[in-house]
């Protein structure tokens, strides 16, 4: 299985391509698409779209995994990020590959065992697992982490079944012991 991971952004869009073969995960490529900051947003989005299509054409992934949305403090930044995500998802869909979304905490959990790991811990684990010592930018390593997450989850689902992997939210149940005395 060949997977392209995407860390979307309107200023820097990271990508990473991994392949799972015979139980091994191989790093094929990673990098960033960086439109000129002087371009208006619509032109930056076109640069990102065209760049993702080039990566897809070059490496022919079967699956795209992308970072899921998260809540930002700045509404304008969140809208721009959403537009960049939309362009990337459109590029994947137009290329005929399936698109899967993963929350940042799920990606960190799949790699480090902790959903709140920092970027340095994620990069360190990726370097150990894939043998990549230098990353172009954090966005590239984040994209590789997203691809790695998809491969890991897919392998577990294949072995154990999809219903086993489904996450369940645990609701906090309050008891009489929680009330102050």
Supply the residues annotated as catalytic: 7, 67, 139
The neighbouring-strand residues paired with 24 are 21
Largest CA distance in the chain: 66
The neighbouring-strand residues paired with 152 are none
CB neighbours of 20 closer than 8 A, spacing ≥ 6?
A: 1, 2, 3, 26, 151, 154, 155
d(CA 96, CA 63): 9
């Amino acid at each position: 299985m060949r997977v392209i991971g995407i860390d979307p952004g309107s200023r820097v869009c990271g990508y990473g391509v991994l392949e799972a073969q015979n139980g091994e995960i191989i790093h094929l490529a990673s990098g960033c698409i960086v439109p000129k900051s002087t371009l208006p947003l619509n032109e930056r989005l076109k640069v990102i779209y065209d760049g993702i299509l080039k990566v897809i054409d070059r490496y022919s992934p079967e699956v795209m995994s992308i970072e899921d949305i998260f809540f930002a403090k700045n509404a304008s930044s969140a809208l721009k990020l959403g537009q960049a995500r939309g362009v990337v998802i459109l590029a994947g869909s137009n290329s005929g590959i399936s698109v899967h979304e993963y929350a940042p905490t799920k990606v960190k959990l799949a790699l480090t065992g902790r959903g709140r790991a920092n970027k340095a811990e994620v990069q360190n684990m990726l370097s150990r697992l894939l043998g990549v010592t230098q990353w172009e930018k954090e966005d590239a390593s984040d994209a590789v982490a997203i691809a790695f997450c998809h491969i890991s989850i897919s392998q577990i689902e294949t072995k154990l079944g999809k219903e086993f992997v489904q996450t369940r939210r645990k609701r906090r149940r309050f008891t009489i012991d929680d009330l102050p005395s």
